């Protein structure tokens, strides 16, 4: 009987979920109680700045308060206030204006470990997103011997607001680009605290996608972020687009305030703005498809001038740089409200010449031509141009193009959509049941991609044993690593098409194309 009871107990334990082991770490603010999951130590919901509420709404992030009793760090903090944009990768999550928290995954929290650190910046058009999204689970990347950090930053009108009443309140602070200031505050927290998690503060890589990739480029160009990271990866981060001016941002913010019933630019107007309900702000702010969309702008301090021009002049952070794009970035077009074929009108009477370049290897349908132009214009050309500028400034630079379509979707998709590489960077752990569709080939490509990314974080060179060679990118040797069913470096990838787009950039800024 005793043997039966013991056997039953063992069977029940074996069938039950494994309880995560708790682990405590002390940082400057106090003791954190995290947990160990699949041999990775995880700490969630750590405040890196004071809640940006009340009088701190539309202020640069202020220092986070400490705590005297051990703080539970097993649950994500709420994501920043936003209009819900529910997808299979971004489920409904708790949100709040009090959202400035971060998360850490570490395979070894011994302070002497000095592991490379990778800090993730999520996308979402500066309107949506959050570090609690399951697809950003850092466990699999951490298993490659790196510390992963993700954080929240303010979005929409709460994150990017250039109203004169706000700008005039604290002139010693870089104001307006509050979402980017949050990112810098998170990086400062990493510098101060990451050693307690086994990380090396002198070896930090920032990486992000879409708005996160744009943020990477902004931080590369900002003197305020210098010394806070050593390497950078911009995934689908654009780069040749015009950055809104301070005057344009002020106009947009003032119009928004007027729409909300707030006029003037004095302390009374500022008090009224801070008294607005979050739900009313969200209800009235712009979207990706409207002119009222908010985004980083040239404030003269954090972003001193057009980001592409700063890259072109070599006025960027020193260190290895990677930029890349996906094979169907046009999947983003509906969110932007873009009619791809109508958009071709920007070429005017030059359209036949442009089309001839695109059809050098055979005719294209109107839809396919427009789709390719969109992807090259916003993403493929920008990745090559910014990497070329970084290389010209003497920094190691590389370019990738992600074209591998997962086996389950082959024949159902024209290419890898905007953001489609993220699951291969982080692995399929956070995809839930969708991850069950991953084939052995999918998992092999994910392992390869993770190896490139983490090798780069470790040494500044993504190459390693068993990986196809990824050569550096330069104006003399324009190599792009095309990640596909067979991954290989391609010289002068889409040279003619990219040349069309960089020429348009050169015309805009008044200088020779890269």
In a domain, 196, yes or no: no
In a domain, 74, yes or no: yes
Total tally of structural domains belonging to the chain: 2
Q: Which residues of 126-137 are buried (b: 16+ CB within 10 A; e: fewer)?
A: bbbbbbbbbbbb
pLDDT at 5: 37
Residue whose token pair is 């590389």: 398
Do 283 and 337 share a domain, yes or no? no
| 144, 293, 401, 418: the active-site residue | 418
pLDDT at 238: 97
Q: Could you tell me if 415 and 409 are in contact, meaning their C-beta atoms sit under 8 angstroms apart?
A: no
In a domain, 136, yes or no: yes
Which residues are registered as beta bridge partners of 27?
30
pLDDT at 17: 40
Task: Of 319, 318, 322, 307, give the one whose Cα is nearest residue 388.
Answer: 322
Query: Rounded to an integer, what distance in angstroms lies between the CA atom of residue 164 and that of residue 270?
Result: 9
Query: Rounded to an integer, what distance in angstroms lies between the CA atom of residue 99 and that of residue 154?
Result: 8
Do 386 and 484 share a domain, yes or no? yes
pLDDT at 20: 65
Q: Where is 33: in which H helix or E strand?
A: strand 30-37
Do 297 and 336 share a domain, yes or no? no
Which residues are registered as beta bridge partners of 150?
103, 120
Query: Rounded to an integer, what distance in angstroms lies between the CA atom of residue 136 and that of residue 89?
Result: 9
pTM attached to this predicted model: 0.95
Does the active-site annotation cover 395?
no
In a domain, 319, yes or no: no
pLDDT tens digit string along 16-63? 344 468 899 999 999 999 999 999 999 999 999 999 999 999 999 999
| 97, 209, 329, 421: the active-site residue | 329
In a domain, 296, yes or no: yes
Do 292 and 370 share a domain, yes or no? no
Does the active-site annotation cover 169?
no
C-alpha distances in Å from residue 276, one per residue of 168, 283, 450: 19, 12, 44
3-state secondary structure of 173: coil
Q: Which of 251, 282, 301 is the last residue of a domain?
A: 301
Does the active-site annotation cover 474?
no
Tokens of 306: 């057009």
Neighbours of 88 (CB within 10 A): 11
Task: Of 224, 177, 186, 181, give the one whose Cα is nearest residue 204.
Answer: 186
If you ran DSSP here, which 8-state letter would residue 245 be given? Answer: P
C-alpha distances in Å from residue 431, one per residue of 84, 238, 299, 402: 19, 26, 38, 19
Which residues are registered as beta bridge partners of 395?
none
Query: Rounded to an integer, what distance in angstroms lies between the CA atom of residue 408 and that of residue 367?
Result: 24
If you ran DSSP here, which 8-state letter would residue 54 be given? Answer: G
21-27 and 30-37 beta bridge pairing: antiparallel
pLDDT at 87: 77
Q: Which of 301, 320, 345 is the last residue of a domain?
A: 301
In a domain, 222, yes or no: no
Dihedral class, residue 217 (left if φ above 0, else alpha if ψ from -120 to 50, else beta): alpha
Which residues, other chains included, contact 343 with Cβ-Cβ below 8 Å and sequence gap of 6+?
A: 370, 373, 374
Q: Which of 257, 278, 301 is the last residue of a domain?
A: 301
Q: Give alpha helix (H) positions in 285-419.
A: 307-312, 333-336, 340-343, 351-358, 366-375, 381-392
Query: Rounded to an integer, what distance in angstroms lies between the CA atom of residue 236 and that of residue 69?
Result: 42
Q: How would you write the pLDDT of the chain (514 residues) with one tens digit per residue? A: 344 333 433 333 333 344 468 899 999 999 999 999 999 999 999 999 999 999 999 999 999 999 999 999 999 999 999 998 877 678 899 999 999 999 999 999 998 999 999 999 999 999 999 999 999 999 999 999 999 999 999 999 999 999 999 999 988 888 899 999 999 999 999 999 999 999 999 999 999 999 999 999 999 999 999 999 999 999 999 999 999 999 999 999 999 999 999 999 999 999 999 999 999 999 999 888 887 789 999 999 999 999 999 999 999 999 999 999 999 999 999 999 899 999 999 999 999 999 999 999 999 999 999 999 999 999 999 999 999 999 999 999 999 999 999 999 999 999 999 999 999 999 999 888 788 889 999 999 999 999 999 999 999 999 999 999 999 999 889 999 999 999 999 999 999 999 999 999 999 999 877 7
**Can you give the residue range of the structural domain that contains 102?**
1-189+235-301
Do 373 and 435 share a domain, yes or no? yes
Do 130 and 277 share a domain, yes or no? yes
479-483 and 397-402 beta bridge pairing: parallel
pLDDT at 434: 81
In a domain, 122, yes or no: yes
Beta strands in 240-349 (DSSP E): 321-326
Neighbours of 476 (CB within 10 A): 7
Q: Which CATH number belongs to the domain containing residue 132 in this structure?
A: 3.40.50.1820
Tokens of 101: 């928290």
Q: Could you tell me if 392 and 314 are in contact, meaning their C-beta atoms sit under 8 angstroms apart?
A: yes
| 81, 131, 150, 210: the active-site residue | 210
In a domain, 307, yes or no: no
């Amino acid at each position: 009987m005793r043997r039966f009871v013991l056997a039953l107990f063992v069977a029940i334990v074996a069938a039950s979920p494994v309880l995560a082991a708790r682990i405590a770490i002390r940082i400057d603010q106090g003791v954190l109680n995290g947990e160990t999951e699949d041999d990775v130590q995880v700490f969630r919901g750590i405040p890196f700045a004071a809640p940006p509420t009340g009088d701190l709404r539309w202020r640069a992030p202020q220092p986070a308060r400490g705590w005297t009793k051990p703080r539970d760090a097993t649950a994500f903090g709420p994501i920043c206030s936003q209009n819900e944009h529910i997808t299979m990768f971004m489920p409904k999550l708790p949100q709040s204006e009090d959202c400035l928290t971060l998360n850490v995954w570490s395979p070894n929290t011994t302070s002497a470990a000095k592991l490379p650190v990778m800090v993730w910046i999520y996308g979402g058009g500066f309107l949506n997103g959050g570090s609690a999204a399951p697809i950003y689970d850092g466990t699999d990347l951490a298993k490659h011997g790196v510390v992963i950090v993700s954080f929240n930053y303010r979005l929409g009108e709460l994150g990017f607001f250039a109203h004169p009443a706000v700008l005039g309140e604290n002139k010693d602070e870089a104001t307006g680009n509050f979402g980017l200031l949050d990112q810098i505050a998170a990086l400062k927290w990493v510098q101060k605290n990451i050693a307690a998690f086994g990380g090396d503060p002198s070896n930090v890589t920032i990486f992000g996608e879409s708005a996160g990739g744009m943020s990477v480029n902004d931080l590369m160009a900002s003197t305020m972020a210098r010394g806070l990271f050593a390497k950078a990866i911009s995934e689908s981060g654009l780069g040749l687009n015009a950055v809104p001016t301070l005057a344009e941002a002020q106009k947009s913010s003032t119009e928004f305030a007027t729409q909300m019933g707030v006029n003037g630019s004095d302390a009374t107007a500022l008090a009224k703005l801070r008294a607005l309900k979050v739900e009313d702000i969200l209800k009235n702010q712009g979207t990706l498809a409207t002119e009222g969309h908010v985004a980083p702008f040239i404030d003269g301090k954090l972003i001193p001038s057009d980001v592409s021009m700063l890259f072109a002049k070599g006025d960027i952070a020193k260190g290895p740089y990677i930029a890349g794009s996906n094979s169907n970035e046009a999947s983003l077009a509906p969110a932007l409200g873009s009619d791809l074929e109508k958009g071709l009108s920007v070429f005017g009477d030059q359209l036949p010449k442009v089309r001839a370049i695109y059809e050098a290897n055979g005719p294209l349908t109107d839809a396919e031509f427009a789709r390719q132009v969109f992807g090259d214009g916003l993403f493929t050309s920008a990745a090559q141009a910014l990497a070329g500028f970084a290389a010209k400034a003497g920094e190691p630079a590389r370019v990738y193009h992600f074209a591998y379509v997962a086996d389950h979707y082959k024949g159902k998709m024209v290419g890898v959509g905007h953001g489609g590489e993220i699951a291969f960077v982080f692995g399929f752990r956070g995809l839930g049941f969708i991850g069950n569709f991953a084939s052995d080939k999918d998992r092999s490509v994910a392992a390869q991609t993770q190896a490139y990314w983490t090798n780069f974080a470790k040494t500044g060179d993504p190459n390693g044993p068993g990986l196809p060679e990824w050569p550096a990118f330069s104006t003399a040797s324009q190599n792009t690593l095309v990640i596909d069913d067979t991954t290989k470096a391609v010289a002068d990838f889409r040279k003619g098409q990219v040349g069309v787009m960089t020429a348009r950039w050169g015309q805009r800024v008044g200088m020779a194309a890269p």
